[in-house]
Amino acid sequence: MNILRKSCLVMIVLSSFIISGCRSSMHSSYHVSQDVDFSFIKNVAVLPLENLSNEKESGEIIRRLVMSELLASGLVNVVIPGEVNAAVKDLSIKNNTSLDKQQITELGRALKIEGIVMGSIEQYGYSKAGNNSAPEVTITLMMAETGTGDIIWSVTKRRGGGGFFSRHFGASSQTLSETSLGAVRDAISTLTEN
């Protein structure tokens, strides 16, 4: 009986470590405006994302994933990147990472869209986990409604990093590409949670 109790105690302690390690590998916070009818948002543009990471191409990689996942969700149609880039150039927008309301509404008219998705990549790469490294991605996405220029959706999603298994056993179950796709999918899914 004493061995059974010790075994149960060990299992409980190990389970709590595993659960706390898994919980630390994913983080999300988001806001969806309650006073906006999202069924009105049918066409969106995804602007080039601000890259705050050390990986040169991460902005375009995540942008393409965002476009693909928005289309896969069936929620909206997405304007092709070339048209978006041309409209930004035609409107002489120098910094598409900090648009004002007027620029948002002008882009909306030019592209005939109801929403603009913009954001940044804060982390894209591998982080140290003990003696090992694990993929880690942190993204922030926002959608502005082009009629008013107001932000109607915002999400910050962190995925990956050094969880319990990577810190203690050197195991990394996902690649950087899989971690990126998971972060984007989790971010997009917040649009349908309300």
- Taking residue 18's Cβ as centre, other Cβ atoms within 10 Å add up to 14
Residue 18: per-residue pLDDT: 45
The two three-digit tokens of residue 184, written as one number: 């984007």
Are 36 and 105 a contacting pair, CB within 8 Å?
no
Q: Is residue 160 part of a domain?
A: yes
Residue by residue, DSSP assigns the chain as: -HHHHHHHHHHHHHHHHHHHHHHHTEEEEEEE-TTS-GGG--EEEEPPPEE-SS-TTHHHHHHHHHHHHHHHHTS-EE--HHHHHHHHHHTT-S-TTS--HHHHHHHHHHHT-SEEEEEEEEEEEEEEETTEEEEEEEEEEEEEETTT--EEEEEEEEEES--HHHHHH----S-HHHHHHHHHHHHHHTTS--
Domain range for 89: 2-189
User: Could you read off the pLDDT of 154-181 as tens digits, one per residue?
Assistant: 999 999 865 555 444 555 568 999 999 9
Find, among 87, 4, 18, the residue nearest to 47 by Cα: 87
- Count other C-beta atoms under 10 Å from residue 147's C-beta: 13
Q: How many domains does the chain have?
A: 1
pLDDT at 30: 81
What pTM value is reported for the model?
Answer: 0.80
- The answer to the question of residue 194 being in a domain is no
Residue 53 pLDDT exceeds 90: yes
Is the model's pLDDT at 24 over the cut of 90? no
pLDDT of residue 96: 80
b/e map of 109-121 (b: 16 or more CB within 10 Å)?
A: ebbebbbbbbbbb
Q: What is the mean pLDDT of residues 115-124?
A: 96
**Predicted pLDDT at 103:** 95
Per-residue pLDDT at 15: 47
| CA proximity to 41, closest of 116, 114, 131 | 114
Q: Say which CATH number the domain at 133 has.
A: 3.40.50.10610
pLDDT tens per residue across span 71-105: 999 999 999 999 999 999 999 998 888 899 999 99
- Residue 26: pLDDT band with limits 50, 70, 90: low
**Which pLDDT score is estimated for 17?**
43
